[in-house]
Each structure stands twice: as C-alpha cells, then as structure tokens.
Chains A and B, each alone.
Chain A
Amino acid sequence: MIGITSMGIYVPAYRLNREEISRAWRTKSLGGERTVARFDEDSLTMAVAATLDCIKYGPHRPDGLFFASTTSPYKEKQAAAIIAASVDLSEDTRTADFTDSLRSGTIALSSAMDAVKSGSANNIVVVASDCRMGTGKSQFEQQFGDGAVAISLGNSEVIASIEGSYSLFSEFLDTWRLEGNAFVQSWEERFVVTEGYLNTMERIISGVMEKYRVAPSEFAKVVFYGPDNRSHANLARRLGFNLGTQVQDLIFQSIGNTGTATLPMMLVAALKEAKPNDKILVANYADGGDAFILKVTEKIGKFQEKMKEGDRKQIYISYERYLSWRDLVPSEDPRRPDSKPPSVTCMWRERKSVLAFYGNRCKQCGTVQYPPQRICAHCQGKDNFEAYRLSDKKGRIFTYAADYLTSSKDSPALIGVVDFEGGGRAMCEITECEPSEIKLGMSVEMCFRKLGQRGGVQNYFWKARPAT
C-alpha cells in the first residue's frame, strides 16, 4: 500500500488584515486576513519548518526530499539539498526541486508516489512552499498568503492510501511571472476563470472519476484548488458535489493563496478531520491538473492525536511594516559598517554546525559546546567529542540585548544568550518577539531563518523564538 505517512504545516506568525491593505489603497477589501512571512523567512525556511514537523510526526526517517515552489531562493542551485541538510537528513537522501508551475506540489507528489511504487525509495517528504508577491493595490496582494506544507509518502504505516491518479496538461497562460520579475501577473479574469480554471478542472475531475469508475457521491471529501471562493463554489456545483458537506474550504479567509502549498494545505486540513475508510478526491490546477483518489486508513486516528498541538501566536502587522519587510520602500539603514559577505569555503567547512546547528559534547567531561570545538573549553581534552544537535533543543534566555544600532528591518534587533536544556549556550538572534515581550528566563525554541543575502549568497542560520 502506498500513501501518506505523515504531514506538517507551517504558517508564519504574522498576519495582514485585508482591511489594512484596502485602507492603504482605498480599494475594496476581500475580507479576512493573509499570512505574511517575516523578513527573515522565505519559501526555503518555511519548508524547513514544515519538513521538521512532518518528520517529527511520521513513522519513518525519509530517504527522499522533494521541494516544490515557484519562489525558490536560487534560480540555479537546488533548494532541496539545503533543506535536507538543515533538517539533518543523511547524505544518501534523494533530493529534487520541482519549480515553475503552481502545480509543482502535486507534480512532486506524483513523482514521489511513482518512486515509492517502483521501490527506489521508501519514504519521500514532499514539501511545498511559496512566498509570492502581487503588486501594490492588486487583487493578488490581498489574495496571496505565505506558507509551507510537507507530506510524506511511503509504503507502510500509511494514514491515507493513494488509490488512483490522473493528470493532464493544458497550455494556458493565466498567471505567470517572468525571470527577473518580482510580481505575479495575469490575463483578464473572465477568460482565466471560465476557460482556464473551470473547464480544465471539470476535465481533470471527471477524468479521474471516469478512469476509476467512482461517482461524486462516494467521496466523503473533495479537496480541489480554487482561485477564489466564488469560482471554487461554481466548480463544485457544476460537478455535482455538495458544497455544505463534501467540499473542503479554501484556506483563503485565514491564510490566503499560498501558491504551490495551497492544495496540499487543504488536503492536510481535510485529513485532520477524516475518518477511516473515507474516500477523498484531490485535484490541483495550473498548466493542466493532477487528481488523486485517497482512502483513509485505520491509522488516521492516532496520527490526528499527534498533530494536535497548541496554536501558534498570531501577530498583526501594519501595511507599512509589510512594505518594509518586502523591500518595497527604500529605507535608511543605521550608519554602520556593512557586513562582509560570508566565505563560501567557510560555510561549507562548517555546514553541519551552521545548517543543522550541531555543537559537540566532550566525551571526557560531558560539556556541550557551540560552535563545535577541538579542545574542550572545560577540561582541555583534545579531539574527544561526539556531535550534538542543538536545533531540536529548547532553551531559556539568560541575558539579552535590544540593539538599536544594527541594521535590522525591525529595530531594535533582539539578541539573546540562550542556555539549552541538557547543556550548551549560544548567542542567537531572537525572532517573532516584540521588544516588550522579552524577559530573562523566557523559554525559547530554535527556528531556521534567512539572515539575508550578502555577496550574492543566501545566508541561512538558526534563530531563537518564544516557545509555543
């Protein structure tokens, strides 16, 4: 049996109320709110967070990692490898990026399914993540949200089996983004929705039902993509699904359209509520479509228990802060020296301590140290260490600084001295924390973040944030 073995979702803590956007532009609000990745997040860091959760909840160590996004931080260079290194997967993990199409998430799922089916992999995490931008005043600016979702496929301990799949392509220019453009553009809405979305999705969904001889009424849930609530409802009516009971809501009201992550996020939402033996129809759209028929197994109940965690905090930001975070307004930095670009050789040599946040522990005296040392800082023993991972440890703020002098989009920059549970201390930037919140002894957890781009190199590292 091949199917879903685990899932993880990451949505940023920050929210932009659509009323706030419409206030700035004097346009009509689409209602609800959208998520906003902080300036130290991008599709890659969000993918790391979702993948870590997926691995934590799942029964297997993955042997494959596929990354799907239209906003990969590098145009040339694999993001999946950075993610795999950051979540501490072994070198023999199969990695791939699936990019360019908004359907990349389900294209990657199809490929993962085939790989598992063929026996070349046992458990592949597919992580879809996007951080797209619409121009100021556009519908897209209100519609888009940022987020990531990871789904692992395997051949045992399956919570929902894949019973069938169907794909088609369609050459259709509805929304697109050219190389070098920051903003998504699109053709006129009527054409995009009626000829593009509705007709293509009708073909793909009826196609999969015909292929496997399933009637609409047999599905406990249908999960399909929609560009907006109205078109989504129209399609459901056309295909004869019951909007009230069968159709999975779009995540538009509280999150927004998260690009490649939209449909997999909806699927996760459906599985969180699913019961054993439920049949679920899944259909994604863009440049054609992908459809899957899933059957929920007995293992779902136990998994749903594991996923029940406290809600993360939500922080509402102003439109001006959003503009600053996205570099949409030129702004002045403090008069401080520029940081030197990182040395690539140095990053490579220290990749395990940078990307997976490993320190080491002295085998003689047990002292945990970060960064990893060769001579023990406590007992001066030489080269007698074991690797010790800190990224998964919680910690407490021993002391901190609120620095108004460094260049940060949110001034003051918060820097904490973190003492880790089980030993070890490191000085870290603190993220997702307002200056008034920080206290001595505050409990923190680690998260993977973007430090910025210097010398053309994307620079990532771990930061601390208030523990959930």
Chain B
Amino acid sequence: MNTIKDKVAIIGMGCTKFGELWDKSVDDLIIDATFEACEDAGIGLKEIQAAWLGTVFSGHTALSLSSPLKLQYIPVTRVENMCATGTEALRGAAYAVAAGACDIALAVGVEKLKDTGWTGVQPTSVIGRSTMGTNGTEIQLSPPAMFSELAFRYFEKCKVDIDEGRKLLAEIAVKNHHHGSMNPKAHYQNELTVEQVLNAPIVAWPLSMLDCCGVSDGAAAAIVTRTDLAKNFRADPIYIKSLTNVVGPYRDLITGGYDFAHVEENVRASKVAYAEAGIKNPRGELSVAEVHDCFTIHEMVIYEDLGWTRSVREDIEAGTFTLKGELPVNTDGGLKCFGHPLGASGLRMQYEVYKQLQGKGGSRQVKNPRLGLTHNLGGQLWGGIACISITGNSLG
C-alpha cells in the first residue's frame, strides 16, 4: 500500500496561548494561530491554496475559516471528529498535498469553550446518534465519568488497589503540571503535589478535579507542503511519517466483551502508525510524545495501549515518562495544563512536537530529538476515533 511517509512536510506552525480568553473571539484565535504559522513558514495568506478547519462546537462549515481570514475563493473544508478534530484537519491538508491536489495547504483547529458558561464540555450522546433528534434515552454521562469507568477495571488489571491507583494517577498530573509550569502558552502554569490531586473534590470517583484537564479556549495551525518544496521555505522542515485515523465499529457497548481496561482504537491506531513510520521499538525510537491526557486515567492506559510499557506502575515510579525520562510524554503540559479546546488540541500537540524536533523546546527541550508522536482519542471508550501522527526531523 502507498504511504504518506516523507511525502509531506510541515513548514510552519502557530499556537495561541490557551486559557480563559474572555477578550478573544473564535475569529481572533483563528487569525492569531494562522498568522503565527504563516510567519513561521515565511509565506503570506495568498500563498495558501487550500484550507481545512477543525472545530466541534465553535463554527459550522468552511465559512467559519474563510470569513475571518478572508480566504479568496480557494477550496476550504470543515472537519469534525470530536476530540480528534485537530489532527483530522491536519490529515485533510496533508493528504491533499500528498495527492498532488495542491502544494501549500493550511490546517487550523479552534475551539472556544469558555463562552458557554458550562462546567466541562457538552457530552456527545452515549449512543452516538444524530444530534438532530434522539429517542430521549441517551445517558448524560459527563466526560470524566466516562473515563472513570476505565479506572476500576484497569487498576484491577494492574493489580493495584484504588488508593495505590489514585496515587499513580496523581503522579501523572504532577508530571504534566511540572512540564506546563515551564510553558508560557499553557493555561495552567502551576506545579501540583500528589496530595493536592488526591485531596481535590471528587468529580467522578476515583477521579478528582485535578485528575481532569481544564476547559480552555485556544487555536493552533499548521502549513504543509510537498517534501521536495519544503527546503525552499525553511532549513528545518518536519516530515510526516504517518497520519493515522482508526475508527471502531461502536461494537463494544452493544454486545459486551469489552474489558474497560484498554481502548481498542488506541492499540490499533498505534500499530498502523508504527508500521507506516517503520518503527519497531516505539519506546526506544520515539523522542517525545504528546498524548490525549484528558483525564489522568487515560494517559495511564495509553502508556500500555501504545506499547510503551509492560508495567505502568514501575514506569510511573521510575519517571520513564517525565522530561528527563526514557520517553518524555506531554512535555508541553498536555491537555492537563492546556485544557482541551477540542478542535485545537491535536494541532497544539503537533506544535509541541514540531518545536521539539526543531530543537526549539527551550527549558523543556528533549535530548537528541528524532521522532515525535501525537495521539488523540475522540468519541467513546467503547467506540472511538484514534488519530496518531508521527513526525521526524530527517527523511528516511
């Protein structure tokens, strides 16, 4: 099968500060992220030949992108894949370039959650049906409550009791906040202690408020082009090795059998992505990873789903996934510190990996960067959309 490996390069990226941006509109965020990306790539708006917008709640149709940027009669597409929306926008742009449909494409992800007045984000109906009308029986399960369902069975699988399990989760929150404390673009830049996480109010047992990511506004953007053109724009383009999207049949709640101790789409997407990128030993070969830590329990499960550990407990205790560890994870602070403006998150992760691979990670820079991974999961545990990108700073 033909692959996208090394056919497309990212030549510019932008990312707004994430947070409670009361004085910024959706349009402001789109404009700020896009202009940073264009400046980074050294191009003007007029050079963009096609564009993709990823947003879940903060816009409809391509007009939500063409209107603020005043794009001039070029093809524009809006995509939506829940929490994987940002990566989906990048996929659209990258595959169009790979197909030869255009040479320079823009991908923008945006979400403005703080205009709703809500705590957390709107749940998609559990049954996952039309938003136009349902039979009224859909369960209003909040996102933390859905992910809390993983905890009981995953702790059981890891042979840790609830108290030990909660401590391991707290270590993940502490790690991500430590990374976020060094990142001026993060929403939360404070350090946390294990005790603070354990003693915060319970949102969905065993998850406390500090096991949950924040609710933020933000946008991020990427400019992609053909690999053979990339060096015309910059000396250090970042090459796409894989852009994987794996969607489940929504089977596991309908028929039973699902163990609530892993996410099948995560496992399968990582296998596809590693194969496409030619990675045999992800833990050894990846330099940095940005994963979907919407709740600490998900990051914990991801370590195993993505094939990085045989003992989550030992690796968390050994600091394997900290900045100085063997495989630094969520070096920018993750969703935990950036919050999760759904459409923006995938591209925000890509922004961190892009900067790390260029050696521009500042105080958070990982050693000898070569390959980086981003991972999103949209939808539900028992029927999800897993998107993984693998990018590198050299060809081959």
Contacts and interface: CB of A to CB of B under 8 A. Distances in A.
B135 A415 contact: no
B284 interface: no
A211 to B, nearest CB: 51
Contacts of B258: 425
Contacts of B139: 415, 427-429
B244 to A, nearest CB: 23
Interface stretch (A19-27, A192-200, A315-323, A454-462): A454-462
A423 B148 contact: no
Given A339-B140, A402-B205, A405-B204, A426 B133 contact: no
A367 to B, nearest CB: 5
Contacts of A80: none
Given A337-B116, A401-B149, A419-B256, A342 B142 contact: no
A451 B136 CA distance: 8
Nearest to A373: B254
Contact of B137 (A354, A407, A435, A440): A354
A399 B149 contact: yes
Interface residues of B, number: 44
A399 B204 contact: no
B137 A370 contact: no
Interface stretch (A10-18, A172-180, A237-245, A344-352): A344-352
B22 interface: no
B145 A415 contact: yes
Contact of B136 (A342, A370, A407): A342
A164 interface: no
Contacts of A112: none
A406 B148 contact: no
B256 A343 contact: no
Given A371-B254, A406-B142, A457 B260 contact: no
Contacts of B146: 401
A112 B153 CA distance: 53
Contacts of B254: 369-371, 373, 377, 425
A377 B140 CA distance: 24
Interface string A382-421: 0000000000000000111111111100001101010100
Contact of A424 (B118, B142, B205, B256): B256
Per DSSP, chain B at the interface is loop
Interface string B249-265: 11101111110100000
Contact of A417 (B116, B133, B149, B255): B149
B122 interface: yes
A336 interface: yes
B246 interface: no
A451 B270 CA distance: 40
Contacts of A398: 153, 256, 260
Contacts of B142: 336, 403, 405-406
B120 interface: yes
A405 B147 CA distance: 13
B136 A457 contact: yes
B343 interface: no
A276 interface: no
Contact of A426 (B122, B132, B253): B253
Contacts of B117: 335
A271 B308 CA distance: 68
B141 interface: yes
B152 A440 contact: yes
A400 B152 contact: yes
Nearest to A462: B137
Given A342-B133, A425-B253, A403 B260 contact: no
Given A343-B133, A399-B149, 14 more contacts: A334-B119, A335-B118, A336-B140, A337-B122, A340-B133, A342-B135, A353-B135, A398-B260, A401-B145, A403-B144, A406-B140, A424-B256, A457-B136, A461-B137
14 contacts: A337-B116, A342-B136, A343-B133, A343-B136, A368-B256, A373-B254, A398-B256, A403-B141, A403-B204, A405-B142, A405-B204, A406-B140, A406-B141, A427-B139
